[in-house]
């Protein structure tokens, strides 16, 4: 999903946010306004500073004639201390996540984290600039939603101002108003006009993180938790604000005093906050972290240690489960930090600054700490289309293909799994290079191959590299039937960096799933207990028993390459949690090099984790034994011992992807036989995800290198997504009748 930017193009000159050239129309930019901050994604401490993909749609008046062949492009110019040489003009990427037909002037601009910036947009043909515009300042950084009662609004002693030299701390008038520098009083709806704690929070974060900070404050003084329940005006404003932002880092919840006054019990407060969060997250495109401040002490109004403790205990209970985490304990700020007895004052000036410092430390830790999979993946999941079944959906998203040159002077090509009716997008895996049809590539007559005219910085793999001589570097023994030749073997990011990602719509003839695909995709059997737990939003523990594929080997997160996507096990767990709202705990016991026999030996360790669902994924290191019956018996041993330990535990068997067809250790003819042995084990509470068949169909037109992360027997990012899609198809509610 993308942050949306809407553009309209009148002929007349606008008074704001314009730049113009001779004989060009002037664009008015709407939907993103000066001082707006867009939440960055892709940030990982010590890895990358992140970026935002901004979806642009240009509503073109009928008076303005823009040919469909016109080029839409953008660039970003740093301002002030952030001033740099302007970026090169970049073409707008198609918005592949939109289910609407692409229109003239729509696309996506990728903007690096930082700011302030000026965003410039141009529409041009081969001769001249037809129209252009700019908007400034805008930033990409950290966006925070604030909710609660008076301690988070303007009910404190001193009006504070933003001290950041570039004024990179801003606030949005919720739910959809303008953005301005976040000087007190903050733009809230409770009529308060004193001071807040937020300007120094933003100052410290902007300095520490080096990016702009945006606040969206929906707090209302004097409110108790029941007033924030779904259906009420306060919750509606919270939801509308989150929808307008699209993405944001976290909800900062500073509330509790009115529940002390109202004698709310611990259990009732827990139930209220859970309902507030679940209903809000269901309406948003993400499930953000909620930081719960301990905010129960209000000595100028009451002295109720018992009531305060009830709410503090509720906060502790909430923070044992995602997405709640402990915020600052502002109850520790007493004496000089608060107003006088019966004054009804809140924080004093020194109390405001100390409360701000507590929030800063909490937020810095949240942002810098390596995220659990479900958290850091919440921004990535919508772009992965994991609920789609690749081989049976009409649109194929981000299919991977390496560039191959089979003859020294031959064409450089990339292969598609299915005939393409329309190529939507071709990009490098980093997203930095967009390939354009007719300029950079053309589609073959059979619509199955892209023939590249310009590969930019991506080097093709030549046929001479496929089978190095024995003992050559970057190779592995040996080629089936030819022990004097090894196979190209490059674990890590080498194959990843040689990939392009292709999004396309299949031809109508190829849109129907093949006859050998089951109605629910590549699966057999059902897992009703697991599905029931997910629908009831009950916690679930998933155990993984498998080999290196299940560890995520050669996924970009493991190889430390953009987009830092983890392996299928983490994708599977994160998507279930994100979709159903259950707390999903992953216990991954997989080890590289293991066979199914190792899984038998390790099973007691896995069962000690008390899993509700066990994924058993072996075979890649077993097919070389060429003994399907032994594989069946070993897998059956695992299955029977799981069922004996707890009859309610369900099992998901996974048949492996195909290894390289010319590697001696992965005889192609054995994979189907091993898969067929797993089919015999399917029964009540035991299902099969048939990745062997997925690979069989995908490789009808593609090369082994197109789906591999190491050249031999590990999937690349797209391959891990194929794994996750297939496992998830067992829980896809679209399949229920």
Q: What is the pLDDT of residues 462-478, one digit of tens each?
A: 999 999 999 999 999 99
Q: Is 39 helix (H, G, I), strand (E, B) or coil?
A: strand
Q: Is 1 helix (H, G, I), strand (E, B) or coil?
A: coil
Judge whether 185 lies within some domain: yes
Contact 427, 399 (CB under 8 A): no
Judge whether 414 lies within some domain: yes
Contact 342, 552 (CB under 8 A): no
Q: What is the pLDDT of residues 517-553, one digit of tens each?
A: 444 468 999 999 999 999 988 999 999 999 999 999 9
Of 85, 109, 138, the one marking the end of a domain is 138
CA dihedral 160, 162, 164, 165 (to 10 degrees): -110
Which is nearest to 697 in space by CA: 507, 386, 417? 417
Looking at the fold, whether 126 and 90 belong to one and the same domain comes out as yes
Where b means 16+ CB within 10 Å and e means fewer, 322-341 reads bbbbebbbbbebeeebbbee
Low-confidence stretches of the chain (pLDDT beneath 70): 1-24, 29-31, 44-48, 95-105, 341-344, 370-376, 378-379, 509-521, 734-737
Looking at the fold, whether 160 and 131 belong to one and the same domain comes out as no
The pLDDT score that the predictor gives to residue 369 is 72
Count the neighbouring beta carbons within 10 Å of the beta carbon of residue 410. Answer: 12
Judge whether 143 lies within some domain: no
Judge whether 418 lies within some domain: yes
The pLDDT score that the predictor gives to residue 96 is 61
Q: What is the pLDDT of residues 597-641, one digit of tens each?
A: 999 999 999 999 999 999 999 999 999 999 999 999 999 999 999
Judge whether 511 lies within some domain: no
Q: Dig out the tokens for 68 from the structure.
A: 């469909």
The pLDDT score that the predictor gives to residue 371 is 54
CATH number of the domain that residue 679 is part of: 3.40.50.1110
Alpha-carbon distance of 202 to 207, in angstroms, equals 8
CA dihedral 93, 98, 102, 105 (to 10 degrees): -50
The backbone region for 105, taken as left when phi is positive above 0, alpha when psi lies in -120 to 50, beta otherwise, is left
For the chain, the average pLDDT equals 89
- Residue 51 forms beta bridges with which residues? 41, 112
Looking at the fold, whether 625 and 718 belong to one and the same domain comes out as yes
The pLDDT score that the predictor gives to residue 10 is 37
Looking at the fold, whether 211 and 348 belong to one and the same domain comes out as yes
Q: Is 312 helix (H, G, I), strand (E, B) or coil?
A: helix
Looking at the fold, whether 486 and 621 belong to one and the same domain comes out as no
The pLDDT score that the predictor gives to residue 63 is 78
Looking at the fold, whether 35 and 76 belong to one and the same domain comes out as yes
Alpha-carbon separation of residue 78 from 82, 112, 268, 273, 445 (angstroms): 5, 11, 50, 41, 45
Judge whether 330 lies within some domain: yes
The H or E element that residue 550 is part of is: helix 548-551
Chain centroid to Cα 93, Å, comes to: 18
Looking at the fold, whether 203 and 104 belong to one and the same domain comes out as no
Judge whether 387 lies within some domain: yes
In the chain, the N- to C-terminal Cα span, in Å, equals 28
The strand pair at 449-452 and 584-588 is best described as unpaired
The pLDDT score that the predictor gives to residue 99 is 43
Of 465, 484, 506, the one marking the end of a domain is 506
Alpha-carbon distance of 572 to 386, in angstroms, equals 8
SS3 string of 643-678? HHHCCCCEEEEEECCCCCCCECCCCHHHHHHHHHHH
Looking at the fold, whether 117 and 229 belong to one and the same domain comes out as no
The phi and psi torsions of 95 (rounded to 5 degrees) equal -85, 90
User: Domain containing 398: what range?
Assistant: 383-506
Largest pairwise CA distance in the chain: 90
Judge whether 17 lies within some domain: yes
Q: Please tell me what DSSP assigns to residue 536.
A: T
Q: Provide the domain count of the chain.
A: 4
Of 484, 506, 528, the one marking the end of a domain is 506
> E strands, 161-305, where?
169-172, 179-181, 213-217, 250-254, 289-294
Alpha-carbon distance of 205 to 168, in angstroms, equals 10
**Environment class of 16 (CB within 10 Å of its CB; exposed 0-12, middle 13-18, buried 19+):** exposed
- Residue 443 forms beta bridges with which residues? 450
Looking at the fold, whether 169 and 283 belong to one and the same domain comes out as yes
Looking at the fold, whether 309 and 365 belong to one and the same domain comes out as yes
SS3 string of 182-224? CCCCCCCCCCCCCECCHHHHHHHHHHHHCCCEEEEECCCCCCC
**Environment class of 87 (CB within 10 Å of its CB; exposed 0-12, middle 13-18, buried 19+):** middle
* Cα-Cα-Cα-Cα dihedral sign, residues 320, 323, 327, 331: negative
Alpha-carbon distance of 522 to 691, in angstroms, equals 7
The pLDDT score that the predictor gives to residue 520 is 46
Looking at the fold, whether 666 and 543 belong to one and the same domain comes out as yes
Contact 126, 67 (CB under 8 A): no
Looking at the fold, whether 116 and 177 belong to one and the same domain comes out as no
**Environment class of 396 (CB within 10 Å of its CB; exposed 0-12, middle 13-18, buried 19+):** buried
């Amino acid at each position: 999903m993308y942050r949306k930017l809407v553009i309209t193009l009148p002929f007349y000159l606008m008074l704001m946010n314009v730049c113009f050239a001779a004989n060009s129309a002037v664009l008015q930019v709407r939907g993103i306004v000066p001082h707006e901050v867009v939440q960055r994604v892709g940030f990982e401490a010590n890895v990358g500073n992140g970026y935002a993909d901004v979806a642009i749609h240009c509503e073109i008046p009928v008076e303005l004639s823009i040919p469909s062949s016109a080029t839409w492009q953008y660039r970003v110019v740093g301002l002030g201390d952030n001033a740099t040489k302007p970026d090169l003009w970049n073409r707008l990427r198609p918005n592949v996540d939109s289910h609407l037909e692409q229109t003239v002037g729509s696309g996506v601009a990728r903007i690096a984290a930082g700011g302030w910036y000026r965003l410039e947009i141009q529409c041009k043909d081969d001769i001249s600039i037809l129209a252009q515009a700019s908007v400034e300042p805008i930033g990409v950084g950290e966006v925070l939603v604030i909710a609660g009662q008076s301690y988070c609004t303007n009910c404190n002693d001193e009006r504070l101002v933003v001290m950041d030299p570039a004024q990179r701390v801003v606030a949005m008038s919720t739910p959809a108003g303008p953005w301005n520098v976040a000087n007190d009083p903050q733009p809230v709806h409770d009529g308060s006009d004193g001071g807040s704690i937020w300007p120094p929070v933003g100052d410290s974060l902007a300095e520490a993180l080096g990016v702009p900070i945006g606040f969206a404050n929906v707090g209302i003084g004097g409110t108790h938790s029941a007033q924030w329940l779904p259906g009420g005006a306060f919750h509606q404003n919270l939801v509308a604000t989150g929808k307008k932002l699209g993405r944001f880092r976290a909800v900062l919840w500073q509330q509790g005093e009115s529940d002390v006054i109202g004698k709310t019990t611990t259990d009732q407060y827990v139930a209220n906050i859970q309902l507030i969060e679940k209903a809000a997250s269901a309406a948003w495109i993400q499930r953000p972290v909620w930081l719960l401040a301990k905010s129960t002490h209000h000595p100028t109004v009451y002295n109720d240690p018992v009531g305060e403790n009830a709410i503090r205990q509720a906060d502790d209970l909430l923070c044992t489960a995602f997405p709640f985490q402990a915020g600052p304990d502002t109850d520790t700020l007493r004496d000089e930090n608060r107003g006088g007895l019966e004054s009804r004052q809140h924080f004093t000036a020194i109390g405001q600054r100390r409360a701000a410092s507590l929030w800063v430390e909490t937020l810095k830790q949240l942002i810098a700490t390596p995220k659990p999979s479900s958290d850091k993946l919440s921004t990535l999941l919508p772009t992965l289309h994991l609920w789609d079944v690749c081989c049976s959906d009409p649109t194929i998203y981000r299919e991977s293909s390496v560039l191959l040159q089979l003859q020294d002077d031959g064409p450089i090509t990339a292969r598609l799994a299915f005939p393409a009716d329309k190529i939507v997008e071709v990009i490098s895996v980093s997203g930095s290079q967009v390939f354009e049809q007719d300029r950079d590539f053309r589609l073959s007559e059979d619509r199955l191959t892209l023939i590249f005219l310009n590969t930019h910085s991506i080097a093709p793999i030549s046929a001479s590299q496929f089978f190095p001589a024995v003992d050559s570097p970057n190779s592995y023994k040996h080629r089936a039937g030819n022990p004097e030749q090894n196979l190209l073997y490059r674990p890590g990011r080498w194959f990843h960096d040689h990939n392009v990602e292709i999004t396309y719509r299949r031809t109508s003839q190829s849109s129907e799933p093949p006859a050998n695909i089951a109605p629910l995709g590549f699966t057999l059997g059902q897992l009703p207990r697991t599905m029931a737990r997910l629908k009831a939003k009950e916690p679930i523990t998933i155990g993984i028993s498998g080999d290196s594929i299940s560890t995520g080997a050669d996924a970009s997160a493991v190889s430390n390459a953009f987009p830092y996507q983890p392996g299928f096990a983490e994708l599977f767990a994160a998507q279930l949690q994100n979709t159903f709202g259950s707390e999903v705990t992953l216990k991954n016991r997989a080890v590289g090099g293991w066979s199914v026999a190792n899984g038998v030996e390790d099973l007691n360790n896995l069962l000690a984790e008390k899993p509700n669902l066990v994924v058993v994924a072996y075979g890649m290191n077993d097919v070389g034994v060429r003994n399907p019956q032994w594989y069946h018996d070993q897998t059956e041993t695992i299955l029977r011992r799981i069922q004996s330990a707890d009859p309610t535990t369900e099992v998901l068997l996974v048949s492996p992807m195909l290894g390289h067809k010319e590697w001696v250790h992965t005889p192609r003819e054995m994979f189907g036989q091993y898969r067929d042995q797993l089919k015999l084990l399917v029964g009540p509470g035991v299902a099969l995800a048939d990745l062997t068949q997925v690979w069989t169909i995908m490789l009808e037109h593609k090369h082994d290198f197109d789906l591999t992360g190491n050249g031999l027997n590990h999937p690349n990012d797209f391959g891990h997504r194929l794994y996750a899609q297939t496992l998830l198809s067992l829980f896809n509610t679209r399949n229920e009748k």
